[in-house]
């Protein structure tokens, strides 16, 4: 079999399989609506509300998400069952304010997200945001919260 024919066959097969993947989550813009605060060392949730958006892109099992806080890109994947996904991201050398008055140069901002598809326009999960400042303990803090990710105010049927 020629190399060109083999590549064409591989491309057709990959295209066909992509359409059959079990991921029912829509791509696009989602608002993260906090449902429970688990930890908030520096009152970050109040500061970020309104900026908790995620732009979700899916390619096979790979998940990419542009996260509105700190203009960060998260990268992750769908788990084996096809409905749960996880993503992580970080940025370095970020200047920000903590507790409303404390100017901080952060060594790193890290985000970890775990979520499960509820329907094509909604997922729920938990997010952890960590500020790391090696030389300033007053700037080191974490925010953990549970959320619903909702696309275009379109919740699943039966959701509150």
Asked if 131 and 12 count as a contact pair (C-beta separation under 8 A), the reply is: no
pTM: 0.81
Q: To which H or E segment does residue 128 belong?
A: strand 122-132
pLDDT in tens, the chain (160 residues): 554 444 444 443 344 344 444 568 999 999 999 999 999 998 999 988 888 999 999 998 999 999 987 779 999 999 987 789 999 999 999 998 887 778 899 999 999 999 999 999 999 999 999 999 998 888 999 999 999 999 998 898 876 6
Which residues face 84 on adjacent strands?
Answer: 116
Q: To which H or E segment does residue 44 belong?
A: helix 44-48
């Amino acid at each position: 079999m020629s190399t060109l024919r083999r590549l064409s066959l591989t491309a057709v097969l990959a295209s066909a399989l992509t359409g059959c993947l079990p991921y029912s989550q829509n791509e696009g813009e989602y608002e993260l609506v906090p449902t429970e605060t688990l930890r908030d060392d520096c009152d970050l949730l109040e500061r970020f509300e309104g900026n908790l958006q995620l732009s979700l892109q899916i390619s096979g099992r790979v998940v990419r998400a542009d996260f509105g806080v700190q203009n960060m890109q998260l990268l992750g994947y769908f788990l084996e069952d096809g409905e749960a996904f996880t993503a992580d991201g970080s940025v370095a050398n970020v200047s920000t304010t903590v507790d409303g008055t404390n100017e901080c140069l952060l060594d790193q901002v890290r985000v970890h997200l775990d979520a499960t598809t509820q329907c094509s326009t909604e997922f729920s999960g938990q997010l952890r945001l960590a500020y790391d400042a090696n030389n300033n303990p007053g700037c080191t803090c974490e925010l953990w919260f549970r959320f619903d990710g909702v696309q275009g105010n379109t919740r699943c049927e039966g959701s509150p």
